[in-house]
Chain A
């Protein structure tokens, strides 16, 4: 099955700086890579996603890049703000005609220091 590794487990940045979180996956059949933000006491919320036919996607201060050859993808947050502080999860989904499922990384606790 799919295995997703995520680094770092914790990340502290100064407000206004950039944050980068990296993930690798094992299943070359995986074709969809979402990123979720989870705030304390809440469920994960989708913030951005990328499909395997795209190398980069951007949405305001958030961007995701995908390198299919190396099987890794990254989340980039620019101009970080205190409200960006949360746990971020990457995930990978494979779809081969049967059940499609997300396999999650172990999470990154991002702290933005004012």
Chain B
């Protein structure tokens, strides 16, 4: 089966600019996650979707981050305005069901804010 697709692979922007990341999960996977991975650290959950509804966004910095999942398939994560500390890899993962144990991760988008 095809994996989780993410784009772009790399992005360099100046602080205060905006940026968007795209994720296409594995077909049929109802649950979608966005994680932030700062260099040298483990992934940290930002937001979790079940179909097109938000299950948990308690760790999403809502003053600058937003995410949506239209029609319960693709998802977009946006940052506006970006800060230097947002430099990280943004990982998208999906799983078949809400209580499903297995996550599949995409390759991520590496964001550098200068």
- Residue positions of A touching B, CB distance < 8 A: 4, 6, 32, 34, 36, 41-46, 49, 51, 89, 91, 93, 95, 98-107
- In the complex, besides A34-B102, A43-B107, 4 extra interface pairs with C-beta distance below 8 angstroms are A42-B107, A43-B93, A99-B50, A104-B44
Q: Which residues of A lie under 8 Å from residue B40 when comparing CB positions?
A: 106-107
Question: Is B98 among interface residues, defined by CB-CB distance under 8 A?
Answer: yes
Contacts of B4 in A (CB 8 A): 43
Known: A43-B105, A43-B108. A95 touches B99 (CB 8 A): yes
Pair B98/A107 contact, Cβ less than 8 Å:
no
B-chain residues with CB within 8 Å of residue A89 when the two chains form the complex: 42-43
Please tell me if B22 contacts chain A, counting CB pairs below 8 Å: no
The answer to whether B101 and A49 have CB atoms under 8 Å apart is yes
- What's the Cα separation between A91 and B42 when bound, in Å? 9
**What separation, in Å, do the CA atoms of A57 and B4 have in the docked complex?**
27
Bound state CA distance, A51 and B44, in angstroms?
A: 21
